[in-house]
Structure 1
Amino acid sequence: MYYILFLLLLSFCLPAVSEATGTLQSKIVEAPNGATIKIEEGEYEETVIISKPVTLEGTGKVLLRSCEDKPVVTILNKGVTLKNMMVEHCGSDKEDTAIYVTGSHHNLEKLNIETRHLGIRLDNANDVTIQDSEIMGINRGNGIDLWKSNRNKFKNLKITNVSDGIYLEQSNENTLRGNNIQKSRYGMHLMFSDDNILEENVSRLNTTGTELMESKRTVVHNNQFSSNNNSVNAQGLLLYLASDTEVTGNEFISNRVGIFIEKAENNRLEFNKIMDNFTGVQFLKSNGNNAVNNTFVGNVNDAQAIESSKNQLNGNYWDAASKVDVNGNGESDIVYTADPYFLTLTADVPEYQLFFQAPGIIMLQNMLKSPYEQLLIDSAPLMDMTMEVEKEQSSRLILWCMSAVMIVASCSLFIFGRKRR
């Protein structure tokens, strides 16, 4: 008798559970345009599609989770708002996406996204705002991925452990402001994308802080690119086949290369702090670029150029320059010259890096100068810095330690090499 009663009770409960799995989608379907749908605190194992202008808002701790081979949230058409919730995609397919967005004038805010692949994908999406959110991955996919998406705004985002923090392809007039991107391959990555603004972002501990590839008229303003040095190909900012870029007021600190300019023309660098990098700025097959009023302090190599000419570097501050100002106009009367001799030498024989700043190398550089067209010449180096710089003892200590290690390694090779003979 008790067993029969238990079965009857179970039969009544099962339909209720089945109906609960579709609760969120049902509420979305039933809601009128312009409605706000409040989601109660809890975990929801389902995927949802929002195709009309409604607001989906979590109250308390709301987790929307799915491991299916489709987005956890799909946003279509126009005017959708998604806010205040956690979204987790635990699928294993390489195309899996936590949130898929197309259409226009959507707003995503106060989200916490965990994904094994893509965080948010914008596909032909325009005038979308994504702000005050966090995205965490496992280095397999991009945090935010744009394809043919224009005039979008990304503000106050924290993105960690992804492939590219924010990736743009064929996407124009977007604004990336106040974002913090760490421990990824590229912090921000723009390809074939024009008229974008990158402002007040922090990109650190990545392989490359930011890359602009075949992109035009990008504004890179007041960003911080630091400690992007965990690879032999690491750099703070890479301009590759980019043109008409304005790089102003940024900080490039403790990168392998602060700014790398390759096959790029007509770009302007102004009022940047370039400090404690192995190489401050490096030109490769690049012409017609202009660097003025920048501050170079504490770099192992301030500037290098290979197969590059007609780049103007007048009016910068170089801490390695000899400074004499006879007429008091704030400019040194002694020309500052950066010679790529050592960089060219080590490119052919990498082992020669052990002899960096060795007296013999310096003597050879003075005797065997590079061709005049490959020299970077500042004919009016500044007497004073254009930006405030805090000369930290730790940075100086690191440089001294690097020098000491090179000297010890060189001596060891010399001594043990003689013993083997």
Structure 2
Amino acid sequence: MSARLRLQGWLRGGALALSGLAVLVLVAFAFGRIATTFGVYDLTRDAGFADHHPPPPDPRSEEELESLRRFPRDAAALQPLIDATPTGSVLHLARGIYAAPGVVNRPMRIEGEPGTVIDGGGVGSIMTVTADDVQVIGLTFRNSGERHESTDSAVRLRGKHGVFRDNVIEDCLFGFELKQSDMNIIRRNRISSKDLPEALRGDAIRVWYSNGNRIEDNEIFRTRDTVVWYSKENILDGNRIRDSRYGVHLMYAHQNSMRHNVLVANTVGVFLMYANDNVLADNVIQYSQGPSGIGIGFKESSGARIEHNDVFANARGLFMDASPYDPESHNAFRGNRFAYNGVAVAFHSGWEGNAFEDNSFFGNHAQAMVAGGGSAQRNIWSGNFWDSYDGFDRNHDGAGDTPYRVWTWADRLWMDVPDAQFFRGAPSLEMIDLVERLGSLTEPRLVLADPAPRIDAIADAGARRAGVKEVLR
């Protein structure tokens, strides 16, 4: 009799779970229709942008541009001062306002005092540097044009071996625009774009077919993106980037290095697209939220080394799409901390060729997910710390006696049906998940297994440079 009652109880529980699941699916699909109607948009669908090719030149003549510029009454023209400066000497600009444009076609040093402003008059780019060995130090660039087709910028770089440091760029559509410009130093600049919607702003720094540049210790905020395209061997070190769309976007960019950067409250922290053999180390990537929020994203990128980064409080800490693309290469993730993310590691499909070793995963809503019903088992998972591991270490070797496994139960619903993510963490879905774990009506799916999980958190995981963990306010 007791066995019969138990069976009836299980049947009632299963029926309740199925009915709740059906209601949830219907509501989820209804929400999906609402999302479609109101245009909920996934930024990763357009991660390549339509403007990755160089824009055409401004069709307007210089005379027409000059007629449109508006300057303060006491502004002195910049170009005559540049023309009067001997090659290789110093142009010192006293405090005041100077009227753009300025074209620098010979090696020289241009420096300013606090309060030295180069005003663009609201039209075109402010300064164009075509010569090698130019230094621009301590200037404020303000009020460029707003035309994307002509890439209206504070500074357009076409020369090599230049130094651009301690400048302020404000109310300029683009900041530094490098085109076939190698071996420059861009250091300690403060860059913001115009007060426009995010997608209509310009890039803080655009590196296009330019190699071996050093971009260091800049403060970037309220711009669109910082991009490195078709370029190699560039170094981005110690930059602070916030409140933008893409913190850093690497596309067809190989052998670049990103270290000690702090990227906070951007839609996407770092995205690697068709980019191989890059290094991301000792960075802090936080608060990439929203429906397109990604801390670090990959698309068809191979040979990356992702080491000692703090990836905290993002919608998705790591997003992998068809990476590595080269079947003879792999991506290595070592010593990182993935914490308090909606999903720590999200795979677009059941890809292979990634190695996750000695990382720490804690406080995440979900440790890993694979869209479309796939598995992450074809990747290497070894020696990671998982806060949800419930095993023991009886021989005290620092590794768990049993493997750590990630299974999907009722959470398959929001993993397989994107619209259902609206209900992730809701009591109804959590109850369905609990019922299925107690008496599963379907076979759970194994997402990953770590054969030697760490018992204790890894001491040297995360960003290691002093001060790099500071959160931007």
For normalisation by structure 2, the TM-score amounts to 0.74
CA distance in 1, matches of 2:410, 2:209: 43
Note if contact 1:304-1:343 (Cα within 8 Å) is conserved in structure 2: no
Please list every run of 5 or more consecutive structure 2 residues that lacks an aligned counterpart in the other structure. 1-73, 325-329, 463-473
CA distance in 1, matches of 2:202, 2:408: 37
Match of 2:407 in 1: 339
CA distance in 2, matches of 1:225, 1:43: 38
CA distance in 2, matches of 1:344, 1:213: 28
Note if contact 1:146-1:169 (Cα within 8 Å) is conserved in structure 2: yes
Match of 1:63 in 2: 117
Kindly provide the CA deviation profile for residues 300-356 of structure 1, in whole angstroms up to 9, marking residues without a partner as x: 111223434411111100010013112221110121111345554114251552357
Note if contact 1:113-1:135 (Cα within 8 Å) is conserved in structure 2: yes
Matched, 1:26 2:80: yes
Note if contact 1:355-1:361 (Cα within 8 Å) is conserved in structure 2: no
Match of 1:364 in 2: 436
Matched, 1:172 2:252: no
CA distance in 2, matches of 1:365, 1:118: 53
Matched, 1:257 2:345: no
Please list every run of 5 or more consecutive structure 1 residues that lacks an aligned counterpart in the other structure. 1-19, 391-421
Q: State the one-letter code of the partner of 2:243.
A: K
What's the secondary structure of 2:188's corresponding residue? Answer: strand
Closer, same or farther in 2 for the Cα pair 1:129/1:70, shift >3 Å? Answer: same
Q: State the one-letter code of the partner of 2:459.
A: M
What's the secondary structure of 1:130's corresponding residue? Answer: strand
CA distance in 2, matches of 1:342, 1:336: 19
Kindly provide the CA deviation profile for residues 156-209 of structure 1, in whole angstroms up to 9, marking residues without a partner as x: 000001111x20110111000000000000101111100000000000101111
Using the aligned pairs only, state the percent identity.
25
Note if contact 2:118-2:140 (Cα within 8 Å) is conserved in structure 1: yes
Q: State the one-letter code of the partner of 1:62.
A: T
Q: Find the partner of 1:282 among 346, 354, 359.
A: 346
Q: How far does residue 89 in structure 1 lie from its aligned partner after superposition?
A: 2.6
Match of 2:277 in 1: 217
Note if contact 1:304-1:376 (Cα within 8 Å) is conserved in structure 2: no
Closer, same or farther in 2 for the Cα pair 1:86/1:340, shift >3 Å? Answer: farther
Kindly provide the CA deviation profile for residues 201-224 of structure 1, in whole angstroms up to 9, marking residues without a partner as x: 000101111101110011000000
What's the secondary structure of 1:126's corresponding residue? Answer: coil
Q: Find the partner of 2:191 among 121, 130, 135.
A: 135
Match of 2:103 in 1: 49
Kindly provide the CA deviation profile for residues 11-70 of structure 1, in whole angstroms up to 9, marking residues without a partner as x: xxxxxxxxx966532222122221011001001122100111100000231000113532
Which aligned pairs between 1:199-210 and structure 2 lie closer than 5 A? 199-210=259-270
What's the secondary structure of 1:27's corresponding residue? Answer: helix
Closer, same or farther in 2 for the Cα pair 1:77/1:332, shift >3 Å? Answer: same
Q: Find the partner of 1:101 among 136, 157, 162.
A: 157
Closer, same or farther in 2 for the Cα pair 1:300/1:228, shift >3 Å? Answer: same
CA distance in 1, matches of 2:75, 2:268: 43
Matched, 1:153 2:209: no
Note if contact 2:144-2:153 (Cα within 8 Å) is conserved in structure 1: no
Range 293-302 or range 360-369, more displaced:
360-369
Matched, 1:316 2:384: yes
CA distance in 2, matches of 1:131, 1:356: 52
CA distance in 2, matches of 1:131, 1:376: 43
Closer, same or farther in 2 for the Cα pair 1:30/1:97, shift >3 Å? Answer: same
Q: Find the partner of 1:232 among 273, 277, 291.
A: 291
Q: Find the partner of 1:379 among 451, 454, 462.
A: 451
How many residues align? The count is 368
Q: Find the partner of 1:304 among 366, 369, 382.
A: 369
CA-atom RMSD in angstroms: 2.1
CA distance in 1, matches of 2:134, 2:356: 44
Match of 2:303 in 1: 244
Name the structure, 1 or 2, with higher relative contact order (CA <8 Å, separation 6+). 2
Closer, same or farther in 2 for the Cα pair 1:48/1:356, shift >3 Å? Answer: farther
Note if contact 2:142-2:171 (Cα within 8 Å) is conserved in structure 1: yes
What's the secondary structure of 1:304's corresponding residue? Answer: strand
CA distance in 1, matches of 2:410, 2:112: 59
For normalisation by structure 1, the TM-score amounts to 0.83
Q: How far does residue 364 in structure 1 lie from its aligned partner after superposition?
A: 2.7
Q: How far does residue 365 in structure 1 lie from its aligned partner after superposition?
A: 5.6
